[in-house]
Chain A
């Protein structure tokens, strides 16, 4: 069964450094998303992406964040200058239509 994959599974970085989180969505899906979950808190929407552009972003997704689909398979989330409060699980999701989103296993980001 096709699934969303994410790399790395765990990323440790120092405050102020740039990180890139990578995702490979399910191959015939057209809609792509990033969510995050701070430990013990709820899953929060960051951004949705369709037809090579952002379709919606949350207030969390400020100028420090960017997304890109550099080729036909990868979808990336870049955090330009990480802060301690960016420490969280980051989930990529994809969907064939704009509902029923399927999540990847996540990347645990630890900012020290």
Chain B
């Protein structure tokens, strides 16, 4: 069983619409959850972190966490062409918070 699973995409969303990215994880003791954005050929860029159940909003981004369902999502409102990238879901375990486990990422394409 893969530790962090994401749909590889591509996910195509019209400009101005809401993009919804999903992720599931297998380890129930996972404690910290992150979304990174990675442009082609570039390094991962941290855009959101979430640690407790519920929603966390930061500008156009909202992260949602449901530990009972082992599910984390990222919503991007008012999608812009510059949001076109691969979005990496990442988790750490409570006992080893320094090791991030990444999913393979979802490619997002915003259609102008």
Contacts and interface: CB of A to CB of B under 8 A. Distances in A.
A75 interface: no
Given A104-B43, A105-B43, A45 B99 contact: yes
Nearest to A106: B43
Q: Majority SS of interface residues in chain A?
A: strand
Given A99-B92, A106-B43, A45 B103 contact: no
B44 A43 contact: yes
B80 interface: no
Contacts, number: 55
Interface size class of A (residues with CB under 8 A): 20 to 34
Given A42-B104, A42-B105, A98 B49 contact: no
Contacts of A89: 43
9 contacts: A41-B104, A42-B102, A45-B101, A56-B99, A98-B97, A99-B97, A99-B98, A100-B34, A100-B49
